[in-house]
Structure 1
Amino acid sequence: MLTDRACRNANCPPNKPRARFADSGGLYLEVAANGSKRWFAKYRFGGKEKRLALGNYPTVSLKDARDGRDVARKTREQGADPVQARRVARAVKTASAAITFEAVAREYHATKAEGWSTTHAKQWLRCCEKDLFPWVGSLPLAEVTAPVLLTTLRRVEARGATQLVRDLSEYAGQVFRYGIQSGKTIANPAADLKGAFKHHTVRHAAALVEPVRVGELLRAIEGYAGQPTTRAALELSALIFQRPGNVRAMEWAWIDLDAAMLTIPADSMKRVKAGKINGRPHFVPLAPRAVELLKDLQPLTGHGRFVFPSTRGDGRCMSENTIAGALLGMGFSREQMSAHGFRAMARTLIVERLPGVSPDVIEAQLAHGKAGPLGMAYDRAEFMEQRRALMQSWADYLEQLRAGATVIEFKAA
């Protein structure tokens, strides 16, 4: 039998390519002419002599080599070929390594992204790439336990991004549920993190909802000294109260000035992908003042695609920061008014100041989808007369506020 000293001193004779030094039970050390030393275990299986490589000496010690030989013997006694068993084990390990959190997440994303909106699909993957993959992406899915995931999300929470923490937890949960469904794991640790994070306070878009302050805003817009397209975009935002993205990306092809109608295509609306593909367009009746604004803009931008093109002349629409910057320039802070705030302003004042308007008509004009069996029924053309009347009444009310009409302020007792 070999000793550790004998292994250290073992050399290959000059006239041979290699030499073998036997231990016991089929184990031997093979020394090559170049001085390398490797362990092998010799055995018979299926009537044939075979050998199993056990590693290099001294990385694999004499004791470790004997342990490997014994494991191989037990494998053979159980009716399996040690070499084949090792190949299977390596294949399983390789497959397990491929079932990492990142691999499964990307597989899930590729499966679901086609049914998501382009924006959500990009956001989902971008958030995972930035805040999940660097920390848990390389781990096998089954090794991403609740404590491991919590530690990862705590890093995001430490930045004060409390809403992003919840989004990432939801995204991770989707990955684990997909992993369970596809047989890649058996648990969803994200579900165990409920209640583990700091409270998130939802911040609504800043909006002016007091009539006196709205009048001040409208007069400030009237006196705006910046770009005429920006001034028009501000006033039109108040008149039609559509989403900021739909206002700044408005196209001349969507507008019928003779019919006084803005028709926003379904694929430009804030909807899930199926709604963008199969949904109806959103109709926005235009009050005479809105038509007047657009007619005034035609000589300026009517030759191009967008009603409000970028001033950079790069073929894009107005920047999402333009309206926000204009509001700041007029003295309205981000905490007082925002581009999205025109919607909340209209929703609040129409309910409080324009009696007799059906809430369903208001919601339809805001393009708020309705759940239940009626679905988007309130967005159908048969409600257009009510919606035309609403938009005219709203435009008239805004004009009264701009002109400084006396308004009644309701104060708490």
Structure 2
Amino acid sequence: MPKLIVPLTDIQVRNAKTKDKPYKLFDGGGLYLDVMPSGSRIWRFKYRQQNGKENRLTFGPYPEVTLQDARERRLETRRLMLQGVDPGKHRDDAKRRLTDRAANTFERIAREWYANKVPTWSERTAKNMIVRLEADIFPRIGSRPITELKHRDIIEALRKIEERGATEIAKRLKAVCSQIFSYAIQCGLAERNQVVDMKDVLKSRRASHFAAIDADELPAFLASLERNEARMFQPTRIALRLMLLIFVRTSELIETPWSEIDLEKGEWIIPWQRMKRGKLTVNPDTTNHHVCLSRQAIALLRELHAITGGSKYLFPNQRDPKKPISNNTLLVVLGRMGYKGRMTGHGFRALAMSTIKERLGYRHEVVDRQLAHAPRDKVASAYDRAQFLAERKKMMQDWADYIDVLSLRPTVTGARTASP
């Protein structure tokens, strides 16, 4: 017959005296208090595993863990045993989960997600992504375990970005955070995507096109460019002229190396790897882009070559000639000319598209090929982009001649220029 154990009382526990050797005060059901010579008193629970081996659990020190607390933990442990769960393994699993939760911070998982995605991105995309995360997201929620993050934590981080007027960046980083949560779920590190249902937490912004002047405003713009009241250096003036004449994307112009241009043949072919659609990670367009240079554009390039021909790029950076000028250079110059909010680098493309179709009578698809846009349907995509090359060359010369004519006419505000 098992020995009958009389349950402990609070007074017995509180008044337990130290001895030269450790001793135990038993409460029954496997629970006892270890009284140490040092004076510490620790609750422990003794039980047998399913294989019959004896094991012990530590419930914690007295008085931090009271007699009542220890008995409640004993009851919880015995319930686990009745369910066939080993209390020791359950304890170890709980500790591991806590450790994993503390280690799996949002930043650690985000960097792991980033490392997996980098091979599919362009160098610029990869750089911009990590810079934005490090500047706007990690300082606010990066150190937090991803499983502890709530909607409010992410919303506050995104709204801080909004407060400085960067609404588009806030919108993009919201999508990035959603991808990181999705990655964590797939890796078994989180159970819920806190961002996926956050549809209306950011300010809505009406979609708008890039600012661009129209054909009627072109004579005044040309006159301003000629007067050069903005005191631009000659390469900058040539850059604006080239944007007007050939209307490539700003990055495609300023990042152009002289090696792409054959001044003797009057040819400029941009490799597909530098084109917007060539940088796509899925089905990139591998068609090189023929810029189609007019006589006026070739003359400007020859003039520019005399100034910057010794550099790698058409428009080298003054501080570091090994790099091209920044994307903002032309935008700043347009602002100094009085066109802030009215004209952008991309605006030259919109201006050319509308004016060439309306004033020079060229077909949309011909202008579209010159803009290096993707065909809108599968039938159009079946055609070789170079099929309009001869027509595009003629169009670009007509466009340059049209601009020359406008430059010679007196500028009258609000007057409508007749089609040539």
**CA distance change for structure 1 residues 83 and 67 in 2, over 3 Å: closer, same or farther?**
same
CA distance 1:49–1:281, shift in 2 (3 Å) = same
Q: Distance in 1 between matches of 2:240 and 2:383?
A: 27
Compared CA separation, residues 156 and 306, structure 1 to 2 (3 A): closer
Q: Corresponding residue for 2:329?
A: 322
Counterparts in 2 of 1:150 and 1:352: CA distance versus 1, 3 Å: same
Among 241, 244, 253, which residue is 2:259 paired with? 253
Query: Residue in 1 aligned with 2:246?
Result: 240
What amino acid does structure 2 have at the position aligned with 1:286? L
The 3-state SS of whatever aligns with 1:308 is coil
RMSD: 3.0
1:334 aligns with 2:357: no
Could you say which residue in structure 2 is the equivalent of 1:265? 271
Instruction: Tell me whether 1:61 sits opposite 2:44 in the alignment.
Output: no
Shift of 1:395: 0.6
Tell me what 1:302 maps to: 309
Unaligned runs of 5+ in 1: none
Is the counterpart of residue 20 in structure 1 residue 24 in structure 2?
Answer: yes
Give percent identity, aligned residues only.
38
Per-residue deviation, residues 8-56 of structure 1 (Å, max 9, x unmatched): 443432x33x333322222222233333332211122232221111122
Residue pairs, 1:78-89, within 5 angstroms: 78-89=83-94
Please tell me whether residue 72 in structure 1 is matched to residue 77 in structure 2: yes
Q: Displacement, 1:359?
A: 0.9
Structure 2 residue identity aligned to 1:279: T
5 Å-filtered alignment, 1:78-227, equals: 78-97=83-102, 101-137=106-142, 141=146, 144=149, 146=151, 149-182=154-187, 184-185=189-190, 187-211=192-216, 213-224=217-228, 225-227=231-233
Q: Which residue of 2 aligns with 1:396?
A: 401
TM-score, L = length of structure 2: 0.85
Amino acid at match of 2:354: T
Alignment of 1:24-43 (within 5 A): 24-43=28-47
For residues 37 and 379 of structure 1, the distance between their equivalents in structure 2, rounded to whole angstroms, comes to 85
Question: 1:282 touches 1:379 (CA, 8 Å); kept in 2?
Answer: no
Displacement after TM superposition at 1:242 (Å): 0.9
**Aligned in 2, Cα 1:321/1:185: closer, same or farther, shift over 3 Å?**
closer
Structure 2 vs 1, CA of residues 62 and 317 (structure 1 numbering), >3 Å: closer, same or farther? same
Moved more, 137-146 or 110-119: 137-146
1:363 offset after TM fit, Å? 1.4
Aligned-partner SS, 1:193 = coil
CA distance in structure 2 between the partners assigned to 1:130 and 1:4 by the alignment:
56
Q: SS where residue 190 of structure 1 aligns?
A: coil
1:177 deviation in Å? 4.0
Amino acid at match of 1:59: E
**8 A Cα contact 2:219 2:411, kept in partner:** no
Distance in 2, matches of 1:334 and 1:263, equals 31
Change (3 A) 1:354 1:405: farther
Q: Residue 394 of structure 1: CA displacement?
A: 1.0
State the TM-score, normalizing by the size of structure 1: 0.86
Contact 2:260 2:270 in 1 (8 A): yes
- SS at 2:28 equivalent: coil
What one-letter code is carried by the residue in structure 2 that aligns with 1:256?
D
Deviations 1:155-203 (A, max 9, x none): 4444443333332332233334445555555554534233444321234
Distance 2:56 2:71 in 1: 14
Separation in structure 1 between the aligned mates of residue 168 and residue 285 of structure 2, nearest angstrom? 31
Structure 2 unaligned residues grouped into runs of 5+? 1-6
Q: CA deviation at 1:392?
A: 0.7
Distance in structure 1 (CA, Å) of the matches to 2:110 and 2:380: 32
Q: 1:310 to 1:140 in 2, by over 3 A?
A: closer
Q: Counterpart in 2 of 1:7?
A: 13
2:356 alignment partner in structure 1? 350
CA separation in 2, counterparts of 1:118 and 1:185?
29
Partner of 1:318, secondary structure, is coil
In 2, Cα distance between equivalents of 1:280 and 1:178: 34
Q: Which moved more, 1:338-347 or 1:392-401?
A: 338-347
Change (3 A) 1:241 1:379: farther
Residue in structure 2 matched with residue 311 of structure 1 by the alignment = 318
Q: What SS does the corresponding residue of 1:50 show, helix, strand or coil?
A: strand
Answer yes or no: is the 8 Å Cα contact 1:135–1:152 preserved in 2: yes
In the alignment, the residues of structure 1 paired with residue 35 and residue 321 of structure 2 have an alpha-carbon distance, to the nearest angstrom, of 71
**Shift of residue 321 of structure 1?**
3.0
**Could you tell me how far apart the structure 1 residues matched to 2:28 and 2:194 are?**
49
1:301 to partner: Cα distance: 1.5
1:279 aligns with 2:283: no
Aligned to 2:392: 387
Is residue 364–residue 378 contact of structure 1 (8 Å, CA) maintained in 2?
no
SS of the residue 1:335 aligns to: coil
In 1, Cα distance between the equivalents of 2:389 and 2:56?
Answer: 85
Shift of 1:288: 0.6
